[in-house]
Amino acid sequence: MTTGPLPRAQQGAEPQLLLTSLLGDFWYWRDEHIPSAALVELLGEFDISPASARAAIRRLAARGLLTVSRSGRTTAYGIPARTSEVIIERTHRMLTFGTTPPEWDGQWTVVTFSVPEQDRGLRTALRSRLRVLRFAALYDGVWVSPHDLAGPALTALRELGLRSATVFRATEVPGSAAAAAAFDLEPLAREYEQFADRYEEVLTGLEAGLISPAQALRTRTELRVDWRRFPETDPDLPAELLPANWARDRAGKVFLQIYDRLGPLAERRFREVLAATDPALADLATHHDSLKVAALFTALGDRHPAGDTPFEQAAEARRLDEARRR
C-alpha cells in the first residue's frame, strides 16, 4: 500500500499512557495475558525504545494497572479484573462527549470559600479539586459551574476538611460579573481548531487509500490520547452559554470519523505485531467502534464503576496533578 505523511501528536505521549490506550482499545474484556516482548514491540510502533517500554510496563504493573503472570522464562501482562467496565464507561464518555450540549435550568452551582494565605497547600488542593469538577473561578474565592455539582463539591470540601466554605445553587451569583465570564473559552477553542486542522488530513488520506495499517494504529492511538483531555478540561457548557460556531463541533466530528474508520486497519497492525510473538493471541485482538462501545455500555446495566479500582484512582490522581499545573 502506498503511504503518505500523517499528522503527529503535538507532543509525544508517555509510554504508560500509550500502552493503556492500546490495551483499552484492542484488548479489554480479555483474560489472556500478552507476553512482555509483544508489548515492547507494540510500543516500538510509537518510537518508544525497548528500555523505555519495559520500564513503562514495570511501572504500570507496580501501580496495579497491569496484572503479571509467568510461564518459564516468559513474563506476560493482562488487564486487571473489573477494569473492563471502567474502560467501557470512559471510552463511551470519550466518544459521546460534546455531541449534545447539556440541558440547563438556568441555575449555577456556586462554591464560596475563604482560606488563609498561610494555608497555601489547602488552597491549591481545593482549586485543583474544583478544576477537576470543571468549576471556574469567577473571583478568587467564588467558583461557579452551570451543572448541578453541589454533591461532588460538598464531598471535596469534606474530604479536605474545609469548613469555611459554602455551596449553593442560584440563578444569580455574588458580585457584578456575569457568571459565564468565569469561563475563558478562547484557549480551548484554539485547541479544538488545532486538533481539527491536524487530523482532517487523515480523512483525506483515508479517501485516497494512503494509510497503511502501521500508520492507522499509530494515528488512531495518538488521536485517542490527544482527544481524551477534552472531556476532562472542557466545562461542557449549555448551548445558551456557548459562542456561535463553537469549535468543538468540527473537532468532534473529525475525531469520531477517524476513530471509527481507522479501526479495522489499526486492528490489523495490532494483530501483526502480536502474531510475531504469539499467533494464537493475535486472533483474539479486536477493535471497538462507536456502535460497539455504545452496545457494551448499554449492556453494563447497573454494573458501573464505583471509583475504587486502581485504574480509576490513577486517572483521578493524574487529573489532579494536571489541574495543579494549570
Q: Considering only 105-109, 137-141, 220-224, 308-312, which range has the smallest mean pLDDT?
A: 308-312
Question: What is the 3-class SS of the chain, one letter each residue?
Answer: CCCCCCCCCCCCCCHHHHHHHHHHHHCCCCCCCEEHHHHHHHHHCCCCCHHHHHHHHHHHHHCCCCEEEEECCEEEEECCCCHHHHHHHHHHHHHHCCCCCCCCCCCEEEEEECCCCCCHHHHHHHHHHHHHCCCEEEECCEEEECCCCHHHHHHHHHHHCCCCEEEEEECCCCCCCCHHHHCCCHHHHHHHHHHHHHHHHHHHHHHCCCCCHHHHHHHHHHHHHHHCHHHHHCCCCCHHHCCCCCHHHHHHHHHHHHHHHCHHHHHHHHHHHHHCCCHHHHCCCCCCCHHHHHHHHHHHCCCCCCCCCHHHHHHHHHHHHHHHCC
* Per-residue confidence (pLDDT) for residue 176, from 0 to 100: 58
CATH class of 108-170: alpha beta
Residue range 163-180: mean pLDDT, rounded: 84
Q: How confident is the model at residue 237 (pLDDT cuts 50, 70, 90)?
A: very high
Q: Is 72 left (phi over 0), alpha (psi -120 to 50) or beta?
A: left
Q: How confident is the model at residue 7 (pLDDT cuts 50, 70, 90)?
A: low
**pLDDT top residue among 308 and 18:** 18
Are the beta carbons of 249 and 98 closer than 8 angstroms?
yes
Are the beta carbons of 53 and 44 closer than 8 angstroms?
yes
Q: How confident is the model at residue 242 (pLDDT cuts 50, 70, 90)?
A: very high
**Cell 453494563 -> residue:** 300
Residue 159 has pLDDT above 50, yes or no: yes
Residue 191 has pLDDT above 50, yes or no: yes
pTM: 0.87
Q: pLDDT, tens digit, for every residue of 8-49?
A: 544 456 899 999 999 989 998 888 999 999 999 999 999 999
Q: How confident is the model at residue 6 (pLDDT cuts 50, 70, 90)?
A: low
Residue range 302-320: mean pLDDT, rounded: 78
Measured at the alpha carbon of residue 306, what is the angle toward residues 304 and 308, in degrees to the nearest 5?
135
Q: pLDDT, tens digit, for every residue of 248-281?
A: 999 999 999 999 999 999 999 999 999 999 999 9
Average pLDDT, the chain: 90
116 CB burial (10 A radius; 0-12, 13-18, 19+): exposed
Q: Which string of b and e fits 175-189 if b means at least 16 CB within 10 Å?
A: eeeebbebbebeebb
Q: pLDDT, tens digit, for every residue of 295-304?
A: 999 998 887 7
Q: How confident is the model at residue 322 (pLDDT cuts 50, 70, 90)?
A: confident
* Per-residue confidence (pLDDT) for residue 107, from 0 to 100: 94
Cα 263 to chain centroid distance, Å, stands at 18
* Per-residue confidence (pLDDT) for residue 2, from 0 to 100: 42
Are the beta carbons of 48 and 57 closer than 8 angstroms?
no
Residue 135 has pLDDT above 90, yes or no: yes
Residue range 226-231: mean pLDDT, rounded: 93
Residue 284 has pLDDT above 80, yes or no: yes
Residue range 187-198: mean pLDDT, rounded: 96
**Domain range annotation of the chain:** 1-102+184-326, 108-170
